[in-house]
Amino acid sequence: MRAIRGRLLLAGLLAAGCAGQSLRADVSATRTEVEKVRRNGGERCNPREIARAEAALDFADRELDEGNSGAAEDQLDAAHENLHRAAVTAEQCAPKIVTVREKPVPVVLIEKTDRDGDGVPDLDDACPDVPGPKENQGCPLVKDTDGDGIPDDQDKCPLDPEDKDGFQDEDGCPDPDNDHDGVVDAMDACPNNPGPVENQGCPVLDRDHDGIVDWLDKCPDVPGVAPDGCPRKFKLIEVKQDRIEIRQQVHFATGRFKVLKDSFTLLDQVAQALKDAPRVRVRVEGHTDDVGREAANLRLSQRRAQAVRAYLVRKGIAPDRLEAVGYGPTRPLASNKTAKGRAQNRRTEFRIVTSM
Amino acid sequence: MRPLLPFTLLALLGCGPVRYTGVLWDADRELAAARAAGAADRAPYEFALSEEYLHQAKVLAGHARYDDADDYGRRATAYAKAAHQKAAGQAVAEGK
């Protein structure tokens, strides 16, 4: 029994190691891409996206060092997203290269040449660099037994015609099931993406990662619970695609960061919503108005966000599903010139960042 | 006896949380100064890097990874200073 457990442990460690290696290679490749985009005008056109991509790669490396391949993968996704944005816009804003064509100088060929030495002068030779008989305009005679337009000497399957469905058409071999999902292309609604026959060969999607596949999920973009995949109804909160919306504010003692008792019911409902969607991760965001020094407001908002996070952890939510970030007055919702606006800006938000 | 109390507390708690808190405060302050100097528009690359490192530093601090939070907080401060300097230089060049 001990030996089996040991082997299982060893296999687990090896699998984790392989995933880490592969992620590390991805990080390195993405870094090269970022460098390429930066050289092609990315830093000038999209400095923010380039910076975010570089930082995310740095974070991914650090998470891999710590053995957190899940977190590293999230950072790598963030790097890809920013790289893609930077690359798309860089193409549009990069300086255009204009080629000025010089006027061709007329050349008179007097000498008759035959570069491939097949006896057909280059002027009459359709293939002047490859020898071939005169009857074939100087080109070599090549057979195409299966008649798929790919000469036998380049055809990996000279007896089976290529199916020319846009997938690996250059090798000359037919691909009846491009994605190897067991559903032949003729019957496969997604011939290049593997998926089960029950879903017509298309991948099973679960966009909101709530464990209920999209075609059975009445709310496919909002994490929910069985049977219909929609979120449970709460009195004080509502689960949305990108956030948990709260209908009343979290209350703290003035100028302090202790959560007041009258907010416990609200936070209990947030905790229940997180328990209902165990693969969802949330960033607790603390925001303030602009009264007072910015640095002090940033500190207070960070501590308040951490206090809310700590409450949720006490209610049984895994700590690695929760981030706490204080933004101070930097992300106002309304004008800070009015009391009403300032009250709107003093808030706590629960943003769904990613699904695990 | 009294002057020894803060040191005793520090020894009991460990220095990690105390050190990273100071670093994050510095980073917050430098970033706020850079923003006020218009670095978000005049030095967007350095400013965005500073924001990203500070954000990650806060996230890691929340997970009790104080050494990493401290490291990222320092980088955030360095980028915020660079952004501030660049923005100030540009403002002078623009005659503002």
For A213-244, how does the pLDDT look when each residue is reduced to its tens digit (9 = 90+)?
Answer: 887 888 888 888 888 888 888 999 998 888 99
> Does A8 score more than 80 pLDDT?
no
Q: Beta partners for A350?
A: A244, A284
Q: Cα separation of A169 and B20, whole Å?
A: 58
Work out the minimum CA distance from B21 to partner chain A, whole angstroms.
9
Q: How many CA atoms lie within 13 A of B24 on its CB side?
A: 32
Q: What is the pLDDT of residue A4?
A: 53
Q: In sequence order, what DSSP letters do the residues of A23-92 get, joined into one string?
A: HHHHHHHHHHHHHHHIIIIIHHH-HHHHHHHHHHHHHHHHHHHHT-HHHHHHHHHHHHHHHHHHHHHHHH
> Does A316 score more than 90 pLDDT?
yes
> Does B7 score more than 60 pLDDT?
no
Q: Cα separation of A51 and B79, whole Å?
A: 11
> Does B1 score more than 50 pLDDT?
no
Q: Please give the backbone phi and psi of residue B52, each rounded to the nearest 5 degrees, phi first.
A: -65, -45
Q: Cα separation of A148 and A153, whole Å?
A: 13
Pull the structure tokens for residue A265: 């019911």
Comparing A342 with A37, the larger pLDDT belongs to A342
> Does A18 score more than 60 pLDDT?
no
For A117-133, how does the pLDDT look when each residue is reduced to its tens digit (9 = 90+)?
Answer: 888 888 888 888 878 88
Q: What is the pLDDT of residue B90?
A: 85
Q: Determine whether the interchain pair B46/A319 forms a contact, defined as Cβ–Cβ distance below 8 Å.
A: no
The single residue listed with the structure tokens 């992620």 is: A23
In this structure, which amino acid lies at residue A240?
A: K
Evaluate whether A303 touches A326 at the Cβ level (below 8 Å): yes
> Does B77 score more than 60 pLDDT?
yes
The single residue listed with the structure tokens 């165990």 is: A278
For A253-288, how does the pLDDT look when each residue is reduced to its tens digit (9 = 90+)?
Answer: 888 899 999 999 999 999 999 998 888 899 999 999
Comparing A247 with A114, the larger pLDDT belongs to A247
Q: What is the pLDDT of residue B5?
A: 54
For A39-76, how does the pLDDT look when each residue is reduced to its tens digit (9 = 90+)?
Answer: 777 777 888 999 999 999 999 999 998 888 888 999 99
Pull the structure tokens for residue A108: 């008179």
For A66-81, how does the pLDDT look when each residue is reduced to its tens digit (9 = 90+)?
Answer: 888 888 999 999 999 8
Nearest to A62 among B44, B46, B68 (CB): B68
Q: What is the pLDDT of residue B18?
A: 59
Which residues of chain A are within 8 Å of residue B28 when distances are taken between CB atoms? Answer: 294-295, 298-299, 328
Q: What is the pLDDT of residue A194?
A: 84
> Does A13 score more than 60 pLDDT?
no
Q: Which residues of B touch A (CB under 8 A)?
A: 24-25, 28-29, 32, 35, 44-46, 48-49, 52-53, 55-56, 58-59, 62-63, 65, 68
Which residues of chain B are within 8 Å of residue A330 when distances are taken between CB atoms? Answer: 35
Q: What is the pLDDT of residue B19?
A: 63
Mean pLDDT, rounded, for A78-98: 75
Nearest to B59 among A56, A295, A325 (CB): A325
Longest dimension (CA), chain B: 58
Q: How many CB atoms sit inside 10 A of residue A97's CB?
A: 5
Q: Helices (H) and strands (E) in chain A — how many of each?
A: 7, 5
> Does A31 score more than 60 pLDDT?
yes
> Does A34 score more than 60 pLDDT?
yes
Mean of per-residue pLDDT scores for chain A: 83
Instruction: Indicate the SS3 state at residue A246.
Output: strand
A189-A190-A191 Cα angle (round to 5): 105
DSSP 8-state symbol, A171:
S
Domain ranges within chain B, ordered by starting residue: 14-93
Under the banding of pLDDT at 50, 70 and 90, the label for residue A5 is: low
Which residues of chain A are within 8 Å of residue B46 when distances are taken between CB atoms? Answer: 51
> To which H or E segment does residue A265 belong?
helix A264-276
Q: Cα separation of A266 and A236, whole Å?
A: 6
Mean of per-residue pLDDT scores for chain B: 82
User: What distances in angstroms separate CA A79 from CA A50, A75, A83, one per listed residue?
Assistant: 9, 6, 6
Q: Beta partners for A328?
A: A287
Q: Please give the backbone phi and psi of residue A195, each rounded to the nearest 5 degrees, phi first.
A: -165, 160
Which stretch, A143-152, A246-255, A264-273, has highest mean pLDDT? A264-273
Evaluate whether A299 touches A286 at the Cβ level (below 8 Å): no
With b meaning 16 or more CB within 10 Å and e meaning fewer, what string describes A102-131? eeeeeeeeeeeebebebebeeeebebbeeb
